Amino acid sequence: MSKHFCQSLSRWILLPSAVAALTFLSGCRQDMQNQPKMIPQRESLFFPSGRSVRPQVPGTVARNQGDADSYFQTGLVNNQVQDRMPFPVNMTVLRKGQERFNIYCTPCHSRLGNGRGMIVERGYKPAGNLLEPRIAGEPMGHYFAVITHGYGAMPDYAAQISVQDRWAIVAYIRALQLSQNATLQDVPPGTNVQKLSEVSEQMGYSAQFPEQWTLPELTNVPGAGDMHSDLVGQKQAMPASAQNAPKNSFKKNSRHTGTK
């Protein structure tokens, strides 16, 4: 027999036997595949109830689940918003609330909470005036719900602000509302109360600084078409889209008409 013939014969015999052997062996595997175990949500003959899933030990709390139904987490009791804080308020809480409010809420509601934040001044849907009687009359749980779930055109801040800090903001909203309508009778007798105009002058501003003010019209915006002559050189360096931007392209209240 030639060497060549032997080689091709062995190839023809060896290959199928290898395949057969592998198939046979895999049918015989006796590894952890066949261990007695529970598959989630499948029935089981082991327990009298026929369920593989075991009932939770009473009082079991999943991680992060905490007291998910508590007033602290929801602002609700029997599905009703309440007008109270879930924990005592002190100056530390109020300062935290002020800090968070100034970071997250002032762009639309302004530092006063009157709804005249910079984004609104530049065209966002008017934000609620937190000092106005209807909104000021809402229970604290309502503010908590608005921050947690959003409200109309207002996005929610659940991801950015912890539950604890949301309540701190709620407390600070109450402080803002009180501060704006406070009278001399609200402070202990003999307290030195200054007018805002005096504080303003002491800080080096004009006496009129705390009064209502309006933003100037949006003209002379670079790229808006009517730039100052010494900016003309820069115009060439700007992308065409910016150069062609229409003048006063932010129209008041023309965007974001959310629904309640």
Binding site for ligand HEC (CB under 6 A): 104-105, 107-109, 119, 124-125, 127-128, 130, 135, 138, 143, 146-147, 151-154, 157, 169, 258, 260
CA distances from 210 to 108, 195, 197 (A): 18, 10, 7
The least CB distance from residue 91 to ligand HEC, in Å, is 19
Q: Residue 142 contacts by C-beta under 8 Å, 6 or more apart in sequence?
A: 75, 81
3-state secondary structure of 94: helix
Nearer to ligand HEC, 71 or 157 (CB): 157
Nearer to ligand HEC, 122 or 247 (CB): 122
Nearer to ligand HEC, 66 or 152 (CB): 152
Q: Residue 206 contacts by C-beta under 8 Å, 6 or more apart in sequence?
A: 200
Residue 10 one-letter amino acid: S
Q: Partners of 151 in the beta sheet?
A: 154
The least CB distance from residue 113 to ligand HEC, in Å, is 8
CA–CA dist 84, 86 (Å, integer): 7
The least CB distance from residue 107 to ligand HEC, in Å, is 5
Q: Which residue is nearest to ligand HEC (CB)?
A: 152
Nearer to ligand HEC, 117 or 223 (CB): 117
The least CB distance from residue 72 to ligand HEC, in Å, is 17
55 half-sphere exposure, CB direction, 13 A CA radius: 7
The least CB distance from residue 211 to ligand HEC, in Å, is 24
